[in-house]
Amino acid sequence: MSTFAYEVFSEVAKQKTFFAAANQLNVTPSAISHSISNLEKELGFSLFIRNRTGVKLTPDGEKILPVIQDILNAEAKLAEESARINGLNQGRIRIGAFSSVCINWLPDIIREFKKSYPEIELSVSQGNFNAVAEQVRIGTLDIGFSALPIKEKLEVIPLHRDPIYCVAPEKFKPAESRTVTADDIRGKNFILQQIDYDRDTKKALDTYDVSLNSIDYSIDDASIIAMVESGLGLGILPELALQKLSGNVTFYPFKEHFYRTICLVTHTEAKQTPSTKAFIKAIQDYLQSRYGQEW
């Protein structure tokens, strides 16, 4: 079976339509359909379920997707190792990150990295913590920024303890002036993203006995700020998310300090390409210069 057939399978699984996959690979939809049909015949089972809106993986297709991604990633690593031996500056790194990392860290990291490795191709996909870790697990991303805990069996590198703050309208004044206590937030509604409630945000709210009935969910950090500004409740956001957000709000640390731990998820070191290893080092160097040694 050709590598092209694997590339087609991977791209269709990602794009969820033959037409979109064809556009990404610069081939015709009929070539995509033909390649998938031949692959299904060779494997002996169906890979996709066709419907009116596109396709989705069959249970068998879901099982072999990580295997095929491993083959494609091994091919990329072989090409990159060959280029390195020949003294060439080549490679490809697929990065996944959540919004505040995309906004506050990655531009500076990528700018510095490109000074040393101008020919290495970088792509960035934005997603939530769980989605990024899952994409790294199946091999469609090489590196992902996520937050502890990580359930997937991946290499996990803790990066930064990001303080969590209470976000309030400008007129809100804590009794102790500098920190928020249980008395300050008793009976108040909170606005947060659904994904945050499974991690350290939940720990903070549980400590202050904030019930589920007092929690509303928003789609992103900027929406949380807008809703708090409008007096719809208090927000809870980490420091990194607050850095480039604006609005008529104030934010205070809780009396008990809470953090989320931002981490890097990758494949095992044996599966990492030279360019991936170089980018991991660039990330660590950047965070060392910005925050100092944390781990």
Query: 89 pLDDT exceeds 80?
Result: no
Give the pLDDT of residue 29. 84
Helices assigned H by DSSP within the chain: 3-15, 18-25, 29-43, 59-85, 99-104, 106-116, 129-138, 182-185, 200-207, 221-229, 239-242, 274-291
Q: Which residue has the higher pLDDT, 176 or 61?
A: 61
Among 63-67, 127-131, 271-275, 277-281, whose mean pLDDT is lowest?
Answer: 271-275
Element (H, E) at 250: strand 249-253
Query: 103 pLDDT exceeds 90?
Result: yes
In tens, the pLDDT along 144-199 reads 999 998 988 899 999 999 999 999 999 898 988 889 999 998 888 999 888 776 67
Q: Rounded to an integer, what is the distance from CA 40 to the centroid of its chain?
A: 31
Considering the four listed CATH numbers 3.90.1150.10, 3.40.190.10, 3.40.50.10480, 3.40.50.1000, the one that applies to the domain covering 159-262 is 3.40.190.10
Query: 104 pLDDT exceeds 90?
Result: yes
Which of the four pLDDT bands, split at 50, 70 and 90, describes residue 1? very low
In tens, the pLDDT along 240-256 reads 999 888 888 999 999 88
Instruction: Return the CATH number of the domain spanning residue range 1-63.
Output: 1.10.10.10
- Find the Cα–Cα–Cα–Cα dihedral 177, 178, 183, 186, rounded to 10°: 110
C-beta of residue 109 within 8 angstroms of C-beta of residue 282: yes
* pTM for the full predicted model: 0.71
pLDDT over 70 percentage in the chain: 95
The span from the CA of 216 to the CA of 213, in Å, is 8
**In the predicted model, what is the mean pLDDT of residues 29-51?**
90
In tens, the pLDDT along 210-225 reads 888 788 888 888 899 9
Give the pLDDT of residue 295. 63
The span from the CA of 280 to the CA of 289, in Å, is 14
The phi-psi region of residue 44 (left if phi > 0; otherwise alpha if psi is between -120 and 50; otherwise beta) is: left
Q: Where are the domains of the chain?
A: 1-63, 159-262
Note the residue count of the chain. Answer: 295
Which of the four pLDDT bands, split at 50, 70 and 90, describes residue 95? very high
